[in-house]
Amino acid sequence: MSLNVREVDLGALNSLTKYPSIPTYHALDAGNGGLLETCVRFAGPVIGTEKVDGTNARVISLPGGDFLLGSREELLYAKGDLIGDPAQGIVAALRAFAEGLAPVTDDVIRVHYVEVYGGKVTGASKQYTGSRTTVGHRMFDCLELADHRAMLAKPRAEISAWREAGGQPFVPEGELVAIAERDGIDLVPRLFTLDPADLPCEIDKMRQFLGERLPTTLVALDEQAGGQPEGIVLRSADRSTIAKARFQDYDRTLRRRK
């Protein structure tokens, strides 16, 4: 059964497909922004991937063939639009990819979550390219929502609460890899799979771990890139647990201890 983009409550669809907040691996002190000696616990193998410092984007595919492009907060373009919102270069970077996707034949909403980086996207773009025009993109997550008709009928406040409580059905690691291969899009780099006991829970040791596991970015777009990575995302294979570890958070915390 198709879902016509012109007939959908776009505000509800926007909220339904926004990417949720991801906690830091070490808890943040609400008072000073530093890290606390409390870390996220994983129950099984931990997959580490590079966290790319760009802008969070969405390719939202509806059953029947329509699609929309969005930033983290807003919808920017729908299939067939003559003019798209140029915010952060997302439409220019992802429209060809979205147009090349096979139409969704199952009655699901599928969302590819993609980091767009380089060019003039963020202040960190120079770490990935020496050019102001070279832009890259990598997929970092995907969800497939089967009960979308019931969800779209709910009040937006209820949808938002569901999303932030972890209600979105993200695909597990194996399926994510398969989707990326099928749809011809590169994933953010996979760095390691570890037993949770091998993941440091001390702040200083975690900073050392980051430097050893990701000394330089693996997604540089040219030889003029600065090469400094943002950090690592840690996730369980079924994606039930996920957290981010950023170099700047550890460096800031450790400086304050001196």
pLDDT tens-place values along the chain, 258 residues long: 688 888 889 999 999 999 999 999 999 998 888 999 999 999 999 999 999 999 999 999 999 899 999 999 999 999 888 667 777 789 999 999 999 999 888 899 999 999 999 999 999 999 999 999 999 999 999 999 999 999 999 999 999 999 989 999 999 999 999 999 999 999 999 999 999 999 999 999 999 999 999 999 999 999 999 999 999 999 999 999 999 999 999 999 999 887
How many domains, in total, are found in the chain? 1
Find the angle CA(61)-CA(137)-CA(152) to the nearest 5 degrees: 25
Contact 143, 171 (CB under 8 A): yes
Rg, Å, the chain Cα set: 19
- Give the CATH number, domain containing residue 194: 3.30.470.30
Say how far apart CA 249 and CA 98 lie, in whole Å: 34
Nearest Cα neighbor of 186 from 237, 242, 240, 116 is 116
Say how far apart CA 239 and CA 21 lie, in whole Å: 14
0.75 surpassed by pTM = yes
Which residue in this structure is represented by tokens 């294979």? 237
Pure H helices in 22-82? none
Domain that holds residue 104: 5-257
